[in-house]
Amino acid sequence: MTTFTGNNFGDTPVVAAQPDNYLTHGKTIGSWLFTLDHKRIGIMYLVTALLAFFIGGMLAEVIRTQLLVPQGLIFHGTGSVASSYAAYRYYNQVFTLHGIIMVFLVLIPIVPGALGNFAMPLMLGAKDVAFPKLNLISYYLYLVGAILAIVSTVLGAVDTGWTFYTPFSIQTESYVVVMVLGIFLVGFSSIFTGINFMVTIHKLRPPGMSWFRMPLFLWAIYSTSLIQVAATPVVGITFVLLMMERVMGIGIFNPALGGNPVLFQEFFWFYSHPAVYIMILPAMGIVSEIIPTFSRKHIFGYEFIALSSLAIALIGFLVWGHHIFVNGQSAELDAVFSFLTFIVAVPSAIKVWNWLATMYKGAIVLKTPMLYVLSFIVLFTIGGLTGVVLGALSEDVVLHDTYFVVGHFHYVMMGGTLIGFIAGMHYWWPKMFGRMYNETIAQWTCVVLFIGINLTFFPQLVVGAEGMPRRYASYLPVYQPYMIASTIGAYIQLVAFLTMAGYLMHSLFYGKKAPANPWGSGSLEWETASPPPHNNFETTPSVGDPYDYSDLVFDPAVNGYVHIEKPADSLAPVTATH
Amino acid sequence: MSEAIAINPTDEQVARAHLAHHFDTPQQQFDAGTLGMWMFLATEMLLFSGLFCAYAVFRATHPEVFKYAGQYLDPVSGLINALILLTSGLTMALAVRFAQTGKRVALSLCLALTMLGGVGFLAIHAKEYFDNGQAKLLWGTHYAPSVGPNGKPVAPITGLAALVAKPKPVASSGWHALKSLGKAGFVVSHSAIMPASIGPAGVAPAQKPAAVANAFQPANVQIFFGIYFLMTGLHSLHVIIGIIVIGWLLIRSLRGEFGPGYNAPVVYVGMYWGVVDMVWMFLFPLLYLIH
């Protein structure tokens, strides 16, 4: 009963440890730098994005430390207004870099680039993405963009905020051109990744895997790619125009030359609001994978979760105007955009209810990925509901540009995207590196991180509702208790993240060997060894229902789950011919 | 992939030889490439769409500027260019057909003709740009024509340059040159936004005596030329890239690489060239035929 027979090829345990895997296949530096293997490219994305996350995170700690005292702890003047102005400019640079790094170098690429690249072809039972060379080009565009962003910081850090609003971004004496060029390249990386993934899902699905038999992570990746392909070119041309403004003085966005600065905001948010869904949709896909696995129960409402991803992608294109409610948009447009913003909350809520229904009466296993998913649901719900508050016109007029907005989008980005990513990283970690991390420490870290995030961002919601504006380097003393609480929360997060880095690094060298299927998941990536061989699958896996756990049992001999033979299997294995 | 290719391989063998390891059949590989190319072209259209959108916004808010400035452009040049691109589109489509049917000489000829069309287009366009530069029909503060579209002299614009200070002197070399790159453009010591009393551009009455002298010249004509150079410049960049890629196809075609078994690159580039043609068919009336 304990042998692996899911592929009906006999009793040979296909999941036995492979002597050669993708990590050991080619050991030279060149075999990594010029690899066309989607798994290695995924690991390269993972390392680069985590490095960027570290830099962005340390900048966040600088911001929080600055705000410990009302006049600013790090950057403050010597008494005169002029000296304060000069000192606070550094603060502007710090929060700008924090925003740019986190948005463009971490949140947007990290889930599709790292986890999508690694897991998607495996989940399809495919050997690679459709265009492996394009995949590598995407990575290098991302890398060069990231390097340009750092170069611009060294030359003269940008102080515009991550939104680059004109006309200030045209006038400021910082290296906007270099920074924007870097982001332009990162944008093209994103476009190429999106095209690659969409074509892969269209054309490389194995026989038997119809659209509605795909794992939900693939639906999420597909919807994300759709946004990447359809929205990113617009911000690309917007940034080209911004560069032209600075280099040539072309005048489209410059009011001094008859241009229209609000047009920049429209263009920018036409991309940047859908980009929020580029960030959150793949995280939702991860949640949809983890919840049924750790509830030992079939996903509830498969079609609704799948199609709500597409719905979010499509409606997400129609809400950008809610960033411009108070910037001179007509009242009629305000009302339309407010309404559409409410509508986009519906498919998100559909997902949350379906996740809850999946857990209902499930045999929930509280392993680390599941714990992160539970914190995702709590944090994302807070973030989502505060978003609806901001989408309401009258409230937005009051809350616009306050810390309430900061708290809101950090709940979504940090509590949603990042926690979802971390859940996914813990979920696929054994598959990626073939090692198990220390489960106890990982679970405690999750709890500490949950406390840290709430302690950081909930006071920001309160202080914003009380009227504290965002992006200021100093504040009124009355807000100080909230700011101190928020800063303590940020330090707690730092401790949690450093612990996480510690035990994950430790697991790479000293962790227990991971079985092929440590969690008992039903999707195809768990049918191959951990870590997978260079060609992904030794034998072509058979396609079944990815959320059917009835034939998976825990086998203490391999410390993981194995398939047992099911009588009269209606889902006869369909093998692809290669 | 690993099967040996005979001295005179069949189309099937050629197709198999070009099959990447992660595809099952040549057809699947071709379909994946075609879908990817269509998506890429969609993103190209979206790249242009930002400019079309800017065009629409400014034309709606400054119709007088577009009507006035459009008269500066020569519709005949634009029309000739449109005809050149249409012809090159035909030769490119024929090239695709000849690649599929394995007519190698005709394929190379058609690719060469397509390149010629692209070069001709660029030559005419360069002449237009040159004339624009001579007449100072440029963007932003560089817009300073001395002659109106009707051939009559207009007084020089004095209002614009005064609003925007001159950039600081640029250091000559090395680190400092790089440093000044980031600060290129405008360095202003005061807000460049006009005082509110002047009112929004285009709506406000001419505020300076010099502008009054140009009674027939609306304010903010430089915006039209900004958009004109951005749109045609981005399009010309695409034409240049197209010529380079078709040149690469021509070399491969002369080597005899394309035939019924393998012609995917020709098909994909053909799709790209079609889109480049099509964009001009929109740009030409929008910029040259304003009434």
Q: Per-residue pLDDT tens for B194-246?
A: 444 444 454 444 444 444 445 567 888 899 999 999 999 999 999 999 999 99
Q: Which pairs with CB-CB distance under 8 Å and at least 24 residues apart come from B90-95?
A: B91/B117, B92/B246, B92/B269, B92/B270, B92/B273, B92/B274, B93/B270, B93/B274, B95/B249, B95/B266, B95/B270
Query: Between chains, do B185 and A247 touch, taking CB under 8 Å as contact?
Result: yes
Residue A86: what pLDDT? 86
Cα of B79 to nearest chain A Cα, Å: 26
- In chain B, DSSP finds a helix count (H) and a strand count (E) of 10, 0
Query: Between chains, do A251 and B36 touch, taking CB under 8 Å as contact?
Result: no
Q: Which residues of B touch A165 (CB under 8 A)?
A: none
Residue B180: what pLDDT? 44
Rounded to an integer, what distance in angstroms lies between the CA atom of residue A537 and that of residue A528? Answer: 6
Chain pair A-B, CB pairs under 8 angstroms: 170
Residue A20: what pLDDT? 84
Mean pLDDT of chain A: 91
- What is the pLDDT averaged over residues B3-20? 74
Q: Tell me the three state secondary structure of residue A436.
A: strand
For chain B positions 187-226, those within 8 Å of chain A (CB to CB) are 187-188, 192-194, 201-202, 219-220, 222-223, 226
Rounded to an integer, what distance in angstroms lies between the CA atom of residue A40 and that of residue A532? Answer: 11
pLDDT of A501 strictly over 80 = yes
Identify which of A300, A290, A308 has the alpha carbon closest to the alpha carbon of residue A357: A300
- What is the pLDDT averaged over residues A325-341? 91
Q: Which residues of B touch A204 (CB under 8 A)?
A: 22-23, 28, 32
Amino acid at B42: A
Q: Which of A131, A194, A577 sits opposite B24 (nearest CB)?
A: A577
Query: What is the CATH classification number for the domain harbouring A219?
Result: 1.20.210.10
Cα of A244 to nearest chain B Cα, Å: 9
**Is A9 a domain residue?**
no
Q: Which of B21, B35, B51 sits opposite A127 (nearest CB)?
A: B21
pLDDT of A161 strictly over 60 = yes
pLDDT of B122 strictly over 70 = yes
Rounded to an integer, what distance in angstroms lies between the CA atom of residue A131 and that of residue A140? Answer: 15
Q: Which residues of A touch B47 (CB under 8 A)?
A: 233-234, 236-237
Task: Among A146-150, A522-526, B4-8, B56-60, name the one with the lowest average pLDDT.
Answer: B4-8
pLDDT of A101 strictly over 60 = yes
Q: Which class for A360: exposed (0-12), middle (13-18), buried (19 or more C-beta within 10 A)?
A: exposed
Q: Which of A131, A173, A259 sits opposite B36 (nearest CB)?
A: A131
Amino acid at A142: Y
pLDDT of B119 strictly over 60 = yes
B27-154+217-288 fold:
Four Helix Bundle (Hemerythrin (Met), subunit A) (1.20.120)
Q: Which residues of A touch B48 (CB under 8 A)?
A: 237
Rounded to an integer, what distance in angstroms lies between the CA atom of residue A203 and that of residue A120? Answer: 13
- What is the pLDDT averaged over residues A410-424? 96
Query: Between chains, do A237 and B47 touch, taking CB under 8 Å as contact?
Result: yes
Query: Between chains, do A199 and B229 touch, taking CB under 8 Å as contact?
Result: no
Cα of A469 to nearest chain B Cα, Å: 23
The residue among A170, A192, A250, A536 with the most chain B CBs within 10 A of its CB, best to mutate, is A250
Please say whether the beta carbons of A434 and A298 come within 8 A.
no
Rounded to an integer, what distance in angstroms lies between the CA atom of residue A502 and that of residue A289? Answer: 26
Amino acid at B98: F
Please say whether the beta carbons of A100 and A183 come within 8 A.
yes
pLDDT of B1 strictly over 50 = no
Rounded to an integer, what distance in angstroms lies between the CA atom of residue A328 and that of residue A130? Answer: 45
A574: Cα separation from own chain's centroid: 33
Instruction: Read off φ and ψ for residue A149, nearest 5 degrees.
Output: -60, -40
- What is the pLDDT averaged over residues B253-266? 93
**Is A508 a domain residue?**
yes
Q: Which class for A28: exposed (0-12), middle (13-18), buried (19 or more C-beta within 10 A)?
A: exposed
Residue B165: what pLDDT? 46
B171 touches chain A (CB under 8 A): no
The residue among A199, A257, A269 with the most chain B CBs within 10 A of its CB, best to mutate, is A257
For chain B positions 119-158, those within 8 Å of chain A (CB to CB) are 139-142
> A474 CB contacts (<8 Å, ≥6 apart)?
A70, A71, A72, A76, A84, A88
Cα of B109 to nearest chain A Cα, Å: 30
pLDDT of B176 strictly over 70 = no
Amino acid at A395: E
**Is A315 a domain residue?**
yes
**Is A572 a domain residue?**
no
Q: Which of B42, B139, B163 sits opposite A248 (nearest CB)?
A: B139
Residue B11: what pLDDT? 82
Q: Which of B40, B48, B141 sits opposite A249 (nearest CB)?
A: B141
**Is A12 a domain residue?**
no
The residue among A191, A235, A252 with the most chain B CBs within 10 A of its CB, best to mutate, is A252
Rounded to an integer, what distance in angstroms lies between the CA atom of residue A278 and that of residue A229? Answer: 10
Q: Which residues of A touch B223 (CB under 8 A)?
A: 251-252, 257-259
Cα of B105 to nearest chain A Cα, Å: 31
pLDDT of A82 strictly over 90 = no
Rounded to an integer, what distance in angstroms lies between the CA atom of residue A572 and that of residue A207? Answer: 12
Q: Which residues of A touch B58 (CB under 8 A)?
A: 252, 260
**Is A465 a domain residue?**
yes
Q: Which of B20, B23, B54 sits opposite A263 (nearest CB)?
A: B54
pLDDT tens digits, residue range A344-360? 999 999 999 999 999 99
Of B140 and B237, which is predicted with more confidence? B237
The dihedral sign for the CA sequence A508, A512, A516, A520: negative
Q: Which of A198, A247, A257 sits opposite B222 (nearest CB)?
A: A257
Rounded to an integer, what distance in angstroms lies between the CA atom of residue A57 and that of residue A413? Answer: 13
B153: Cα separation from own chain's centroid: 31
Task: Among A178-192, A468-482, B45-59, B182-196, name the one with the lowest average pLDDT.
Answer: B182-196
pLDDT of B156 strictly over 80 = no
pLDDT of B57 strictly over 80 = yes
Of A316 and B162, which is predicted with more confidence? A316
Query: Between chains, do A167 and B192 touch, taking CB under 8 Å as contact?
Result: yes
Instruction: Read off φ and ψ for residue A556, nearest 5 degrees.
Output: -60, -25
* pLDDT > 70 in chain A, percent: 94
Sole residue written with tokens 């366009």: B125
**Is A3 a domain residue?**
no
pLDDT of B168 strictly over 50 = no
> A502 CB contacts (<8 Å, ≥6 apart)?
none
State both tokens at B114: 């397509």
Q: Which of A126, A252, A577 sits opposite B22 (nearest CB)?
A: A126
State both tokens at B89: 């589109």
Rounded to an integer, what distance in angstroms lies between the CA atom of residue B86 and that of residue B93? Answer: 11
Q: Which of A233, A246, A256 sits opposite B192 (nearest CB)?
A: A256
pLDDT of B171 strictly over 50 = no
Residue A504: what pLDDT? 97
Residue range(s) occupied by CATH 1.20.120.80 in chain B: 27-154+217-288
- What is the pLDDT averaged over residues A262-269? 94
> B191 CB contacts (<8 Å, ≥6 apart)?
none
Structural domain of residue A320, as residue ranges? 36-563
Q: Which of A129, A173, A251 sits opposite B226 (nearest CB)?
A: A251
* pLDDT > 90 in chain A, percent: 82
**Is A22 a domain residue?**
no
Please say whether the beta carbons of A275 and A227 come within 8 A.
yes
The residue among A177, A225, A248 with the most chain B CBs within 10 A of its CB, best to mutate, is A248
Q: Strand A512-513 to strand A560-563: parallel, antiparallel, or no bridges (unpaired)?
A: unpaired
pLDDT of B254 strictly over 60 = yes
Residue B181: what pLDDT? 44
The domain tally of chain A equals: 1
DSSP state of A543: P
pLDDT of A11 strictly over 50 = no
Query: Between chains, do A171 and B187 touch, taking CB under 8 Å as contact?
Result: yes
Cα of A34 to nearest chain B Cα, Å: 17
pLDDT band, very low/low/confident/very high, at A480 (cuts 50, 70, 90): very high
Residue B158: what pLDDT? 58
Residue A19: what pLDDT? 66
Query: Between chains, do B230 and A241 touch, taking CB under 8 Å as contact?
Result: yes
Q: Which class for A225: exposed (0-12), middle (13-18), buried (19 or more C-beta within 10 A)?
A: buried
Of A25 and B167, which is predicted with more confidence? A25
pLDDT tens digits, residue range A244-254? 999 998 989 99
Q: Which residues of B touch A194 (CB under 8 A)?
A: 39
State both tokens at A60: 């966040």
